[in-house]
Chains A and B, each alone.
Chain A
Amino acid sequence: MLNRNKVLRVGLLLVMAVIVTRLFFIQIVEHDEWLAKAAAQQTLQSTIVAKRGEIYMMDGDEPAPVVMNATVYTVIVDPMLANREEIETQLNQILGERRMAEWDEVFADKTRRYYIVAKNLPRAQAEQIAKGELEGVWLQGNTERVYPEGDLGAKVLGFVNADGVGQYGVEGSLNERLAGKDGLLRTVKDINNVALSIGEGNIKTPAVDGENIVLTIDKTMQHNIERLIQEQTGKVGFSHISALVMDPRDGRILAMADTPSYDPGDFGNVESAEVYINHVIEDPYEPASVCKTFTFAAGLEYGVLTPESTYVNQGVTYVDNWPIKNAAQNPGLLGTTTIQTALNWSLNTGSTQALRWLGGSEVEINAQGRERLYEYFHNHFGLGQETGIELYEATGTVMEPNAEVYGIDSTYANMTFGQNMQVTMLQTAAGFASVVNGGQYFAPTIIAGKMENGEFVKAEQREAVREAVRPETSATMREMLYNTRRTWRGNGTDPAGYYVGGKTGTAQVIRNGAYVLDETVATYVGFGGTEGELPEYVIMVRVWEDGKKAEGDTHAVVVFNALKGYVQDRLRVRPAATE
């Protein structure tokens, strides 16, 4: 009996020892591990996803949404649980053409328990499916960017990729502002995954939704400019046309179009990623003779020329033993020629002479001339540097005046007519606007404000960044550009009472390090408004196609004229009263 008691006692002690040892391990040695397991079971931790900001364009004075968010649904079938006959009948009826999987495929392998049969389903259809309470069918909601205006302004807007990150356009450059900041929820939960307020250490950091950004782009104008340039590709026969419309009085971009374009709602469906590039801001090029505007404006500023100043035009001039020829070889233009004529006929010899005058010389290009030209090109007109627009933009290149390179003088001579430099259309248009708007340089902008609680909060009134040229210089340049346009287009093109001026450019293209003869890019930049008043718009057009010769005075100006007529009407530019 005694032995049996002893055995029982020892046995109990052993059991106790095992339990105590196990408890010791659980509570002391494996403490953290068990704590983590418990926390994982009892804690609900989830990200409170911030709502991505919407994007608006201006529709008259009111913002109109062009990029929004919508909940769309993915329909998933578990072939092991689903009754094929039942779901086939019901889903075929609801999904129609949206069904992306064949039923034989779905039910071929029942061990594969996750099969997507439809994506991006709108709410109404998703609700129909949910009502059916089909076993083995479930819906997964996702937020997606939707574009009520279709592909309008795709190059400006960009898109959001599968990871929810903005790419290209406003979506890319303002991704941080649009994305907002996700919040965090960490609480004790119950068995039904419901967050409980009991317990310690619960955290709820609310999400900060992204900003609803309003663009300066005029929705209707953007639509029509896109339509017009698309039409013009057929009319002038070139595959690529880019266009920019801006308000020279404050730098607001009213339209920015580039063809060919793409559908941001189906951004993956493109032949090449090249189509995502916005050539207005991301593709520096040589704008050619439109830069004579800048050269002569610099000359006026330094007082080395007037529209009536003369030089001897021989059709060609030599710099660094390199011949600089005029495109217009009209014998009637040879001899003593005014600067106004040089601008009218886009004579390269005239702009080269202006560079010599900037250096205080009649015959040579020197450091002073180069420095003065650079001062205006780069520092006053902003060529070869970012404009500060709220989009990704290229910097471009304007060679410094004292760069130790071979042929710096001929480089600068070429720069006077917009070659041997790389600038964006936007830089050129912003600089041009500063020449014609009275002399103030406004950094271009695409942001008009933001929407807050359904109200439009306008961005602050814009101030000029600097004085690019004196008001007198600006007035003279407007007159010169007006005359140039009349020379080329005849008196009848622009109706009476309107004041429209502009300059063409035809640039040779560098291929494999050398200028080629069979390809040119055409540009036209012009302004317009009521006669006797400051311009109300600046339009810049670029036309090109690989392997083809586009001319500023034949192709770009035609596109400009088409756009100008529309823009004038859209902005309700009134002609000056005639006597």
Chain B
Amino acid sequence: MRPQTYTTRRATTNGSGWSRNQNIVRHKAKSLGSISNAMIVGLLVLIVGLIYVSQGTKATNYDYELSAIEDEISELEAKKEDLAVEKARLTSIASSENSTVAQTMEGASVGGYAE
């Protein structure tokens, strides 16, 4: 009896047989071109730049608002001071002495004290 041996199918195939295996795929590395790379980098830089500019503009807008508010505060403080001065003038001794009420008052000649 002739001895029987088992040989795998792959072992029995030769080089040409391997090439016929339709399930085996050889992938080839693909890469972007230099122009694409540059465009992507440029785009990224543009996005970052836009973010920076938008933030900067936002901050500047706040600065403008702040400046306007500070001006308004100064203005109001100055007005408050003016009013305080006006009040002080109106309640000054000279104003009281020259008031119409004071003009009609009689001078005190003798001081007295209630016991």
- Chain A residues lying within 8 Å of B81, measured Cβ to Cβ, are 68-71
- Output the nearest chain B residue to A150 by Cβ-Cβ distance: B94
- Output the nearest chain B residue to A190 by Cβ-Cβ distance: B60
Q: CB < 8 Å: which of A65, A122, A220, A577 contacts B88? A: A65
Q: CB < 8 Å: which of A148, A152, A223, A575 contacts B85? A: A148
Q: Are A150 and B62 in contact (CB under 8 A)?
A: no
Interface residues on B, range: 20 to 34
CB of B109 to closest CB in A, whole Å: 12
CB of A140 to closest CB in B, whole Å: 14
- Chain B residues lying within 8 Å of A220, measured Cβ to Cβ, are 93
CA distance A146 to B83 in the complex (A): 13
Q: Which A residues between 140 and 158 are near B, CB-CB below 8 angstroms? A: 141, 146, 148-150, 152
Task: Determine if B47 is an interface residue (Cβ-Cβ < 8 Å).
Answer: no
- Chain A residues lying within 8 Å of B78, measured Cβ to Cβ, are 71, 123, 141
Q: Which A residues between 340 and 394 are near B, CB-CB below 8 angstroms? A: none
- Chain A residues lying within 8 Å of B59, measured Cβ to Cβ, are 196-198
CB of B82 to closest CB in A, whole Å: 5
- Output the nearest chain B residue to A577 by Cβ-Cβ distance: B115
- Chain A residues lying within 8 Å of B91, measured Cβ to Cβ, are 64
- Chain A residues lying within 8 Å of B42, measured Cβ to Cβ, are none
Task: Determine if A219 is an interface residue (Cβ-Cβ < 8 Å).
Answer: yes
CA distance A150 to B95 in the complex (A): 11
- Output the nearest chain B residue to A497 by Cβ-Cβ distance: B113
- Chain B residues lying within 8 Å of A69, measured Cβ to Cβ, are 81
- Chain B residues lying within 8 Å of A572, measured Cβ to Cβ, are 113
CA distance A198 to B62 in the complex (A): 11
- Chain A residues lying within 8 Å of B67, measured Cβ to Cβ, are 194-195
Q: Choose among B67, B84, B89, B92 the residue with the greatest number of A CB atoms under 10 Å from its CB.
A: B92
Task: Determine if A266 is an interface residue (Cβ-Cβ < 8 Å).
Answer: no
Q: Are A575 and B60 in contact (CB under 8 A)?
A: no
CA distance A115 to B81 in the complex (A): 28
Task: Determine if A452 is an interface residue (Cβ-Cβ < 8 Å).
Answer: no
Q: Are B63 and A197 in contact (CB under 8 A)?
A: yes
Q: Are B63 and A146 in contact (CB under 8 A)?
A: no
Task: Determine if A466 is an interface residue (Cβ-Cβ < 8 Å).
Answer: no
Task: Determine if A574 is an interface residue (Cβ-Cβ < 8 Å).
Answer: yes
CB of A189 to closest CB in B, whole Å: 9
- Output the nearest chain B residue to A72 by Cβ-Cβ distance: B82
Task: Determine if B111 is an interface residue (Cβ-Cβ < 8 Å).
Answer: yes
- Chain A residues lying within 8 Å of B66, measured Cβ to Cβ, are 197
Task: Determine if B18 is an interface residue (Cβ-Cβ < 8 Å).
Answer: no
CA distance A572 to B113 in the complex (A): 9
Q: A70-B81, A195-B67 are in contact. Are A575 and B88 (CB under 8 A)?
A: no
Task: Determine if A579 is an interface residue (Cβ-Cβ < 8 Å).
Answer: no
- Chain B residues lying within 8 Å of A574, measured Cβ to Cβ, are 113
Q: Which B residues between 54 and 99 are near A, CB-CB below 8 angstroms? A: 56, 59-60, 62-64, 66-67, 78-79, 81-82, 84-85, 88-89, 91-94
Q: Are B79 and A123 in contact (CB under 8 A)?
A: yes
Q: Are A122 and B82 in contact (CB under 8 A)?
A: yes
CA distance A220 to B69 in the complex (A): 41
Q: Are B64 and A194 in contact (CB under 8 A)?
A: yes
CA distance A122 to B78 in the complex (A): 11
- Chain A residues lying within 8 Å of B85, measured Cβ to Cβ, are 68, 70, 146, 148
- Chain A residues lying within 8 Å of B89, measured Cβ to Cβ, are 148
CB of B110 to closest CB in A, whole Å: 10
- Chain A residues lying within 8 Å of B115, measured Cβ to Cβ, are 577
Task: Determine if A200 is an interface residue (Cβ-Cβ < 8 Å).
Answer: no
- Output the nearest chain B residue to A196 by Cβ-Cβ distance: B63
CA distance A123 to B85 in the complex (A): 12
CA distance A370 to B30 in the complex (A): 116
Q: Are A197 and B62 in contact (CB under 8 A)?
A: yes
CA distance A190 to B57 in the complex (A): 12
- Chain A residues lying within 8 Å of B63, measured Cβ to Cβ, are 194-198
1/0 contact string of B27-46 vs chain A (CB within 8 Å): 00000000000000000000
Q: Are A70 and B88 in contact (CB under 8 A)?
A: no
Task: Determine if A104 is an interface residue (Cβ-Cβ < 8 Å).
Answer: no
14 contacts between A and B (CB under 8 A): A70-B81, A70-B82, A123-B79, A141-B78, A150-B92, A150-B94, A152-B93, A194-B67, A197-B62, A198-B59, A198-B60, A198-B63, A220-B93, A572-B113
| Top 10 A-B residue pairs of the complex, sorted by shortest distance between their CB atoms | A148-B88, A148-B89, A71-B78, A194-B67, A70-B85, A196-B63, A223-B93, A65-B88, A148-B92, A569-B111
A-B contact sample (4 more), CB < 8 A, given A64-B88, A123-B82, A575-B113:
A68-B88, A70-B82, A148-B92, A195-B67
